[in-house]
Structure 1
Amino acid sequence: MKHKKLWLALITVVLVLGVALVGAGYYFFQVACVPGEKSFLSSESKTIKKSDPLYREKSWFKRTAKQKYRIKSANHKYELVANYIPSAGSRKTAVILPGYMDRKEDMGTYDALFHELGYNTLTPDPQAQGESGGKYIGYGWVEKDDIKKWIDFLLQKTGRQQQIVVFGLSMGGATTMMVGGLNLPQQVKALIEDCGYTSVKDEIEHEAKELYSLPLIPRFPLVEILSGINRLKVGYLMGDASSIKQLQKNHRPMLFIHGSRDNFVPTTMVYQNYRASKGPKEIWVAPGSKHAKSFADHPKEYRKRIATFLSKYLK
């Protein structure tokens, strides 16, 4: 009788813990994967100040006319929207990919950078961000197929003589690396990623530790449960969404950029990504820069690094 009561008590504890962990997993899924206000993201003022190191780029973007392009997502569920800014007579286009919960308008400084280098720019809102439809944030794994579709659309729209470079920041950087593992048109000449992560699971585990100070237990089962919920809701396990695995299939030239003081996507990740890529590659770790701040901290050097890299691979 005592043994029976003990087993019932143990089973009850296990069930309660299981329900609690699943509930916590759903909570973290809402925080991480459902679009909305995120307390862990810093909000920047929309006012353009002359003291801003990127004042010129932001002012240019604000006054520049943008064309709107629209396509259906690769899964045929949602309408996706992009800004297109032509550069007169250019046959070079930069596809610019925003970060987590960013909009295409937040990438205006990079539109300006590439326009100054003589590129047209196509800057899409990812699924569930900005004007694009969608229910969940795909962390680059879902978006990679949308970007391939945007590239195909761009070639149909502007002609197959185009030379294309894909550039991404943060989640957009991870998307760029994941795109690199796809079978892309030969018009895609180079890839540039700034502060992207090694895999979705690695980044989620890092944030669980840094933002919530979770120890290994319960961090390990929580991330696994979150990944399982993501598989049911979004269609993939977070461990499968690997920049490293995709880069191992990439043979295109790639430039890797990261801030040396990045605590949001740890700087150590850029070295792992760099080693994984199989094509010609370069790396620049911006001294003293935090997450996604390399351009603002080092505008001249940032521009020079990108211009020099691209001059080797695009005519």
Structure 2
Amino acid sequence: MKKHRILAAISAPVALFSATLLASEKLYNFAFKRVDYVPETSADKQKYADAYWSYVDWLHRQPVENWELNPDDDQNHLVATYVPAKGASQKTVIISHGYKGDGETMANYAYMFHQMGYNVLLPDDRGHGQSAGKYISFGWQDRRDYLEWISRVLQTNGPRTQIVLFGVSMGGATVEMMSGEALPPQVQAIIADCGYTSIEEELAYLLKRQFHLPKYPFVPIVSFINRHRMGYFLSDVSSVEQLRKNTRPILFIHGEKDVYVPSWMLKKNYQAANGPKQMWQVPNATHAESFWIDPATYQKHVEAFLKQYLPQA
């Protein structure tokens, strides 16, 4: 009997540990593994579907160019769509898409900037769209890829071009993370719409909100898995730390009713940011809805910000 009690005492925690590891592996694959389709939008945004597809149709009608990085490297092959401005322009915007999206899903923002006279570059991030990658890096590896896209823009459009970095959701966090890099002087402004503070905080928040699971032990285990798969811990992936090194003018946009990336993350990012900064919290907007509620007002805010910092805007 004593032997059976000892075995039971040992097997129970072992079984719990094994179950936790299995659940963490499933969580990692769910959150980080690429999917080769764009998931359907949330129910509350279905009302914008017709408008969304009209922007996609507009994009398909444009005389676009297909750009590539590392075309002979299957592990690092990256793809982007370039939409030249209607006429000669010294202004280029690089638009960073959201989680499990791709460049095409940003067609509405591409249209807005195109109407403002910009060349537009729409990359597919690693693990998304036509670009390579087994896993999603949530902006961390992407920030370095975008430095290469910036170099490609300068190579194509010349050293006089003025570059704006723009992103929404994961893309907002991506351009926030780029803000801490050594950017060339041609990058003159950044606009981040509903970006998170860090992937560790975002994952812990969503675990609790959507799955009623605690941060511990799941987030540390997922972080360890990511260190093995991608080479870095989740604690490394921080918009806040990068924003502390920022020197560029930056506009933060965030929906007042965002429960996916909560508004306290907006305030934490804003407080951390160095350099000239502005914040616009959009009334009644949920996650990534700020544009859709009123595209004209959204464009006016963007134009007003850029006119302060881009001589030709």
Q: What is the TM-score of this pair, normalised by structure 1?
A: 0.91
Q: Which residue of 2 aligns with 1:80?
A: 78
Q: Distance in 2 between matches of 1:27 and 1:110?
A: 34
Asked if 1 retains the 8 angstrom alpha-carbon contact of 2:250 and 2:276, the reply is yes
Is it true that 1:237 corresponds to 2:233 in the alignment? yes
Pair 1:80–1:233, CA change in 2 (3 A): same
Give the superposition deviation at 1:149.
Answer: 1.0
Q: Which digits, 9 at most, give the CA deviation of each residue in 1:58-116, with x for residues without a partner?
A: 5532422211000029x983211101011121011000000001011110111111111
Question: Where do 1:17-166 residues align within 5 Å?
Answer: 17-36=16-35, 42=42, 49=50, 52=51, 57-72=55-70, 77-87=75-85, 88-166=87-165
Give the superposition deviation at 1:42.
Answer: 2.9
Asked if 2 retains the 8 angstrom alpha-carbon contact of 1:164 and 1:189, the reply is yes
Q: Which amino acid aligns with 2:64?
A: K
Unaligned runs of 5+ in 2: none
Give the superposition deviation at 1:31.
Answer: 0.3
| Secondary structure, counterpart of 2:25 in structure 1 | helix
Q: Which amino acid aligns with 1:64?
A: Q
User: How many residues matched?
Assistant: 307
Q: Which digits, 9 at most, give the CA deviation of each residue in 1:33-74, with x for residues without a partner?
A: 00126879638779973xx3x68755532422211000029x
Q: Distance in 1 between matches of 2:130 and 2:152?
A: 18
102-111 or 28-37, larger mean C-alpha shift: 28-37
Q: Which residue of 1 aligns with 2:268?
A: 272
| Secondary structure, counterpart of 1:220 in structure 2 | coil
Match of 1:289 among 285, 288, 303: 285
Q: What is the TM-score of this pair, normalised by structure 2?
A: 0.91
| Secondary structure, counterpart of 2:216 in structure 1 | helix
Question: Where do 1:296-307 residues align within 5 Å?
Answer: 296-307=292-303
Q: Distance in 1 between matches of 2:258 and 2:49?
A: 25
Asked if 2 retains the 8 angstrom alpha-carbon contact of 1:57 and 1:113, the reply is no
Q: Distance in 2 between matches of 1:39 and 1:95?
A: 23
Q: Distance in 2 between matches of 1:271 and 1:119?
A: 29
Q: Distance in 2 between matches of 1:103 and 1:146?
A: 15
Q: Distance in 1 between matches of 2:62 and 2:38?
A: 30
Q: Which digits, 9 at most, give the CA deviation of each residue in 1:197-230, with x for residues without a partner?
A: 000011111111121122x3xx410111011101
Unaligned runs of 5+ in 1: none
Q: Distance in 2 between matches of 1:204 and 1:14?
A: 25
Q: Which amino acid aligns with 2:76?
A: Y
Q: Distance in 2 between matches of 1:210 and 1:47?
A: 25
| Percent of paired sites with the same residue | 40
Asked if 2 retains the 8 angstrom alpha-carbon contact of 1:193 and 1:255, the reply is yes
